[in-house]
A and B are shown apart, each in its own frame.
Chain A
Amino acid sequence: MKKREKTRIRLIVNGEPYEVEVEPHKTLLEVLRDDLNLTGTKGSCGVGECGTCTVLVDGKPMLSCLTLAITVRDRNITTIEGLAKDSKLHILQKIFLEKGAVQCGFCTPSMLLTAKALLDENPNPTRQEVIDYLSGVLCRCTGYVKIVDAVLAAAEEIRRRGSEYAEE
């Protein structure tokens, strides 16, 4: 069987198709940051403990640092750059800002994407469900209380307005 060398693949990121040449040992995180210049996704521990490299693959939070880019060709990938729509912030983003849930900001992209996946699955989570769902993302500032508060407030606002996006 033929081994796969550097291969031209299509990655669908935030709805946009990108043609990229990747070597099999390149992780999705490296390709997003270094080839596509989408640096909102952060790398940190590199071994699946901190969750900072989270992206959504077909809507599910996954570890981009432990995913070979070649294996997610043609799948729908959402990074933090794709969370806002046109010039409208996602309500999670708006409320993270309002409630001071962003401190140093390093975990924020992963917290937001993971929270979005949670609300897509469960629009009305309990506080404990939010804590459990976000537990795979570590906040270096340990500012969890405001993050959980913000997710619960965003859930409520999204339910009330029937839209995920804030007004312009």
Chain B
Amino acid sequence: MVRTLEPFEYYEPTSIKEASDLLQSFGEKARIIAGGVDLLARMRRREITPDALVSIKFIPGLDFVEEADGQLRIGALASIRSVELSKVVQEAYPLLYEAVHSIHSIQVKNTGTLIGNLCIATPASDIAAALIALDAKVKIAGPSGERTVPLEEFYLGVRKTVLQPGEFVTEVMVPRPSSEAKGAFLKLVRNATDIAKVNVAVLLTVKNGVCEDARVVLGSVAPVIFRAKKAEEALKGKSLDEKVAVEAAAAAAEEAKPITDIRSTAEYRREMSRVLTLRAIRRIMEG
């Protein structure tokens, strides 16, 4: 049942330091809010009842999507929609664009932030799958200063991240893929606005028909989004052909640890992990 929000203490820090200090002083009792799509929905469902919300919405300098020094930088207040509309994302980071574009609700994309989508740590995040394939890193601000963590190492479990009390993500950085790198993002969903049953992001660097590097990332089929390392090994150094693609897809399905829930059975998710991985590799081969 959905109810109105319970009252909470509300703070509007105007600097990263101030926000971090507030979050640290409240510890588990406070939540950070930017777009609020996931947070307020969970509060309505009484899944969480924080004593305080710390809004970062009025901290200057966090709303940007830009490329500098060969990497894309997205700030904590950039909406999902602003990433989708970014020309540089569309042209130089098509894998990220595909994942963002696969989220249908324009309302969710305008209201929610891209970094919020990463930080809710859902294993179904389309954006996180694509960004792990692209080797993105997150910049984390906290009481003892800044640190940078590869997104691949950011997640510890369902809704669990490496963030310590007082820490929050201020930025995500994505290295520009080489001109030989080609990506594909695919997902299986019940309807346009539901979350993925399985999603797959593949980025292959292919030179003269040989796969020099491979990143195969699967979401929604394990407690955290993961790189299917065996599938990657099955691709690396090989001449890309149908046989190699079939082997890699089978390896990816073996590495999945899916569960059965209202959206799918574990068996179906595992089989679809294979099918989507195969389709993604085929799409890259077809150019």
Residue numbers of A with Cβ under 8 A of B are 1, 3-4, 23-27, 30, 45-49, 51, 54, 57, 60-63, 65-68, 70-71, 114, 117, 132-133, 135-138
What chain B residues lie within 8 Å of A135 (beta carbons)? 104-106, 192-193
A-B contacts at CB below 8 angstroms, number: 98
What chain A residues lie within 8 Å of B111 (beta carbons)? 48, 62-63, 66-67
8 contacts between A and B (CB under 8 A): A3-B9, A3-B11, A4-B11, A24-B8, A25-B4, A60-B110, A62-B110, A114-B107
Complex Cα distance, B41 from A147, in Å, reads 28
In the complex, the answer to whether B105 meets A25 with C-beta atoms within 8 Å is: no
In the complex, the answer to whether A60 meets B81 with C-beta atoms within 8 Å is: yes
In the complex, the answer to whether A3 meets B52 with C-beta atoms within 8 Å is: yes
Q: Is B233 positioned at the interface, with any CB of A under 8 Å from its CB?
A: no
Q: A49 with B4: in contact, given A4-B10, A54-B107 (CB under 8 Å)?
A: no
In the complex, the answer to whether A136 meets B107 with C-beta atoms within 8 Å is: yes
In the complex, the answer to whether B107 meets A25 with C-beta atoms within 8 Å is: no
Q: Which of B5, B10, B57, B104 contacts A136 (CB 8 A)?
A: B104
In the complex, the answer to whether B4 meets A23 with C-beta atoms within 8 Å is: no
* Interface of B: prevailing SS: mixed
* 75-112 of chain B: CB within 8 A of chain A: 81, 104-108, 110-111
In the complex, the answer to whether B37 meets A23 with C-beta atoms within 8 Å is: no
Q: Which of B37, B52, B81, B105 contacts A51 (CB 8 A)?
A: B105
Residue of B nearest to A136 (CB): B105
Q: Which of B35, B41, B52 contacts A46 (CB 8 A)?
A: B41
CB distance from B67 to the nearest CB of A (A): 23
Q: Is B44 positioned at the interface, with any CB of A under 8 Å from its CB?
A: yes
CB distance from B181 to the nearest CB of A (A): 27
What chain A residues lie within 8 Å of B255 (beta carbons)? none
Residue of B nearest to A121 (CB): B85
Q: A61 with B106: in contact, given A25-B6, A66-B37 (CB under 8 Å)?
A: yes
